[in-house]
Structure 1
Amino acid sequence: MKNNQILLCCAMLALAACSSADKYTIRGTWEDGAGQTVYLKTGDDPKQLVTIDSAVVKSDNSFTIRCKAPAEMTPAVLVTPESRTELLLYRSGRPVDVKIWSEMRRKLKPGQTDSVDVKVQLMKLVNPDPETAVYLSGRDMASGHAFISLGGMFMLMNAQEQGLSLDSVFNVKKQMEEAFEQSLEKFLDSTKNFRSSTFFIRDFVLKTRSFAEAQRWYDSLTPAVKESPEGQMLFSAIERDSKFNVGGTPDNFTLPTPDGDTLALYSLRGHIVLLDFWASWCGPCLAEAPNVKKIYEKYHDKGLEVLGVSLDKEGDHDKWVAAIEKHGLNWKHVSSLKGWDCPVAKQFNVTGIPRMYILDREGKIIAQDLRGEELAKKMDEIFADAQ
């Protein structure tokens, strides 16, 4: 009888543990937020998040969201009209604690030159679990990289406007980039046993770094992480993107030409193809154009085709055509006229332009991200081997 009671207790404890792990609970306090609503949203597109739950703040300024936990780790956002915080939903069995409060900060108001005290609402997770902490650190790393890139661009622009030497600006920018690289290596090396690190590799490394680097960091993950649903998700993303990197053969695509016809990538099979992502408004792209023009004139008769994929927007068709004519870009051109939402640019993970790929006669990518002398030298090598 006693043994049966012990077994029953163990079974009840196990059931309670499973029930707890199968739920996620978000507990929070919202300073002076009684009666307000907090929304839990998720989705792949930040502009089209879907509300999956919500809670009204009680009279004591507390709120609770308690629902069934997803089978896989799911990035989500907790949102109010004035603040938000990212979090990670999964079967951890551990509640998520959130704090929402307001404080005065010095800011510039629109149309004013002097800073003023402005009341802002803030939200943060309190003591997030290790997996969530890694996920949030990865998001911070990505934001830091964007800040460095944007800050470097503004420093260069200001230096040029003021007629200052660019050497010191380049040195500062280089130091910032080197510091980021060190932080990136340290972060990835220290998080290879965390399932949530796969989101950072997929969303940042795979999209902004070389494919070889993303593959290297995937290989460094522990077997347990690779075998997890998140690891399999990352593997699928890497396998998919392998088509659009050196050694891969991209899927065919068809886009409109300037005259309203269409052109398919696969129609250029049998030629060496320089796939050039650019835009009429892109200064660095137009600065690279004379080099591409020289290469095209040198090797077009020997089998080189250049295909320009413009990231101009709808309504800029005339600017696109004018740039082609003005700069004598006498090769093949296509564009979806959807700007950065161009489906082909997304397939190739184009996050900056100019971006170039060289495809061999069978359509396989044999080089990418070459410009200037490096691009010319590579073309010389390709056509020397073809003789």
Structure 2
Amino acid sequence: MRNLIILFAFAILAASCEEEKGYFLSGTIEGVEDGTNVYISEISEETERPAIIDTTQVQNGKFEVDLEENNQPNLSFIAFDGIEGNIIYISEDEEITIEAYKDSLRSSRISGGKENRALNDYMSHLKEVNRKIKSGRADMKEAYNAQDSSRFATLQATEQEVKDNDMVFRKKILKKNQDSYVSLMILMDMLNMKVTPVKEIQEMYQNLSEDLKQTTLGKGLEKTLEQRAIVAIGNKAPEFSAPTPDGSELSLSDAMGKVTIIDFWAAWCKPCRAENPNVVKIYNKYHDDGLNIVGVSLDRPGQKDRWLQAIEDDGLEWHHVSHLEFWQDPVARLYNIQSIPATFILDENGVIVDRDLRGDDLETRIRELLN
């Protein structure tokens, strides 16, 4: 009996030691010199960017660090001195093991904790989707070069089917894992893909657990969704006023037509300049029917001359405004511009009816609205 009590006591002690280990990170990496610094970062709530929270070093191809316990999961990263890229994982109060590959950090294996198991499943799915699309694109290139339009169209349809199935898979994960951190990552990916209406993503976000919404990524996603909703299709475009090339102020309401394009661009933006001839053609064709354009430039401070020269060189004979504050331009921030070119198409009431169309798609939409 006494022996049983002793064994039971040892079992309790062992369990207690395991629980005290908490958030513990260990890993292996081959081909890295001893003393190489390893940086552990996570998303900071203040900056919403990765911030280093601890460091360790590689010794004999191994590294480990005992980290402060987390009240909630967070998107985290491991980086090594002299090695490009990083390893993405989710911090948990668990022992997390990393098998890192020097030549491909993104292919490293992560184990430990239910959140990282879910992350592994999601990343495996993404790799398979990307593999299928990459393979299909190579086949499309061959079909295009062979002028096989029938096969090309079939491959296009197959790619769309892959994308549709991917979206179905994501929504299934979201429905089954409303308390999993990976659901936040999926919603953020869907938002950045710009194929799912913001309102639909907001509804899926509201179905997540309150604990998830209180994480750093959860709060950041909610904030981003609110910003994107302001300029979502179906909402009235936010009013703004900004300096014109001659120094006066122009408001959006003063520049409206039957159809209005707000075109975010810059003299330094090569894709913008490449699209300008098409926009000029459309403007010249439909301006007399009621099409107006307001160009909002994200040119840098002190480079007004480059902005004006680009307007002249490209023949952009419509309204132009800019604060010359690069990505900090107040109008760009109001419209949550993350990349350019970016366009918003407004109807005569100032409601956003479409966005980010190019080439023939842009002209077709303008013609539909004016007719």
TM-score by length of 2: 0.69
Which has the larger displacement, 312-321 or 145-154?
Answer: 145-154
Aligned AA (1:127)? S
Q: Match for residue 116 of structure 2?
A: 132
Structure 1 unmatched ranges of 5 or more: 1-8, 103-119, 381-387
Check whether the contact 1:20–1:93 (CA below 8 A) recurs between aligned residues.
no
1:57-116 per-position Cα deviation (integer Å, ceiling 9, x unaligned): 34x433222222444432221000215211122xx43211112345xxxxxxxxxxxxxx
**Equivalent residue runs for 1:155-304 within 5 Å:** 165=147, 167=149, 172=155, 175-192=158-175, 193=177, 194-202=180-188, 204-210=189-195, 212=197, 214-220=198-204, 223-225=207-209, 228-229=212-213, 230=215, 233-259=220-246, 263-265=250-252, 268=255, 273-278=260-265, 281-282=270-271, 283-299=274-290
Check whether the contact 2:78–2:88 (CA below 8 A) recurs between aligned residues.
yes
Give, in whole Å, the separation in 2 of the partners of 1:355 and 1:153: 27
Which has the larger displacement, 310-319 or 149-158?
Answer: 149-158
Check whether the contact 2:259–2:370 (CA below 8 A) recurs between aligned residues.
no
Indicate how the Cα distance of structure 1 residues 138 and 297 shifts in structure 2: closer, same or farther if over 3 A, else same. farther
Give, in whole Å, the separation in 2 of the partners of 1:256 and 1:154: 47
Give, in whole Å, the separation in 2 of the partners of 1:308 and 1:172: 37
Which has the larger displacement, 75-84 or 285-294?
Answer: 285-294
1:335-356 per-position Cα deviation (integer Å, ceiling 9, x unaligned): 4567777664464445463533
Structure 2 unmatched ranges of 5 or more: 1-8
Aligned AA (1:94)? E
1:188-246 per-position Cα deviation (integer Å, ceiling 9, x unaligned): 322431332222312x222332452x432453468453663255654443233210112
Give, in whole Å, the separation in 2 of the partners of 1:125 and 1:232: 28
1:311 CA drift (Å): 5.0
Check whether the contact 2:174–2:183 (CA below 8 A) recurs between aligned residues.
yes
Q: Match for residue 54 of structure 1?
A: 55
Check whether the contact 2:199–2:229 (CA below 8 A) recurs between aligned residues.
no
Match of 1:196, SS? helix
Give, in whole Å, the separation in 2 of the partners of 1:332 and 1:150: 41
Give, in whole Å, the separation in 2 of the partners of 1:264 and 1:47: 32
Q: Match for residue 385 of structure 1?
A: none
Match of 2:34, SS? coil
**Equivalent residue runs for 1:298-317 within 5 Å:** 298-299=289-290, 305-310=292-297
1:88 to 82, 87, 90: 90
Check whether the contact 1:188–1:217 (CA below 8 A) recurs between aligned residues.
no
Give, in whole Å, the separation in 2 of the partners of 1:145 and 1:339: 35
Check whether the contact 2:70–2:93 (CA below 8 A) recurs between aligned residues.
no
Aligned AA (2:295)? G
1:295 CA drift (Å): 2.5
Indicate how the Cα distance of structure 1 residues 199 and 375 shifts in structure 2: closer, same or farther if over 3 A, else same. same
Check whether the contact 2:280–2:316 (CA below 8 A) recurs between aligned residues.
yes
1:278 CA drift (Å): 4.0
Q: Match for residue 356 of structure 1?
A: 344
Indicate how the Cα distance of structure 1 residues 200 and 166 shifts in structure 2: closer, same or farther if over 3 A, else same. farther
Give, in whole Å, the separation in 1 of the partners of 2:308 and 2:140: 30
Check whether the contact 1:138–1:197 (CA below 8 A) recurs between aligned residues.
no
Check whether the contact 1:188–1:197 (CA below 8 A) recurs between aligned residues.
no
Structure with greater strand percent:
1
Check whether the contact 1:275–1:356 (CA below 8 A) recurs between aligned residues.
yes
Sequence identity (%): 19
Give, in whole Å, the separation in 2 of the partners of 1:171 and 1:164: 14
Match of 2:181, SS? coil
Give, in whole Å, the separation in 2 of the partners of 1:172 and 1:93: 46
Match of 1:34, SS? coil
Give, in whole Å, the separation in 2 of the partners of 1:53 and 1:251: 43
Check whether the contact 1:211–1:245 (CA below 8 A) recurs between aligned residues.
no
| CA RMSD, 1 decimal | 4.7
Indicate how the Cα distance of structure 1 residues 142 and 190 shifts in structure 2: closer, same or farther if over 3 A, else same. closer
